[in-house]
């Protein structure tokens, strides 16, 4: 889990439930472990549903949950660093900057 150093240090030996509550406060990727991340969050729901991404919360972080989460992260990485997407983005025209004085 990528968290700010101070947060990570403060959570090191706490039980998963305590960590999960703090993750929810930190960022959406970490917070998606918590069931409240799926309440009243239409932008996230649309991102998850439109992309077919297997985001889910976990009551307990078991070996199976870890495997599921790894698959999610792998799919996110594939999409972020997809060569075709990156090439299309690189080749796209850039918007014109401010007019010269």
pLDDT digits (tens, 9 = 90+) for 26-67: 889 999 999 999 999 999 999 999 999 999 999 999 999 999
Residue spans per domain, the chain = 5-82
Q: What is the DSSP letter of 38?
A: G
What does the angle CA 14 – CA 66 – CA 57 come to, to the nearest 5 degrees?
75
Q: What is the dihedral of CA 64, 70, 74, 76, to 10 degrees?
A: 100
As a whole-number percent, the residues of the chain with pLDDT over 90 amount to 58
- Asked if 23 contacts 1 with a C-beta cutoff of 8 angstroms, the reply is yes
Name the pLDDT band for 101 (thresholds 50, 70, 90): low
pTM: 0.77
- Rounded-to-integer distance, Cα 70 and Cα 76, Å: 10
Residues contacting 74, CB < 8 A, separation 6+:
none
Task: Please provide the average confidence, as pLDDT, over all residues in the chain.
Answer: 88
């Amino acid at each position: 889990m990528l968290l700010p150093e101070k947060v990570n240090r403060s959570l090191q030996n706490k039980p998963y439930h305590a960590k999960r509550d703090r993750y929810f406060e930190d960022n959406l990727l970490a917070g998606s472990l918590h069931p409240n991340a799926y309440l009243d969050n239409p932008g996230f729901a649309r991102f998850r549903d439109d992309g077919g991404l297997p985001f889910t919360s976990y009551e307990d972080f078991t070996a199976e949950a870890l495997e599921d989460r790894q698959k999610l992260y792998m799919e996110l990485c594939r999409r972020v660093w997809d060569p075709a997407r990156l090439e299309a983005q690189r080749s796209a025209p850039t918007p014109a900057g401010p007019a010269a004085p």
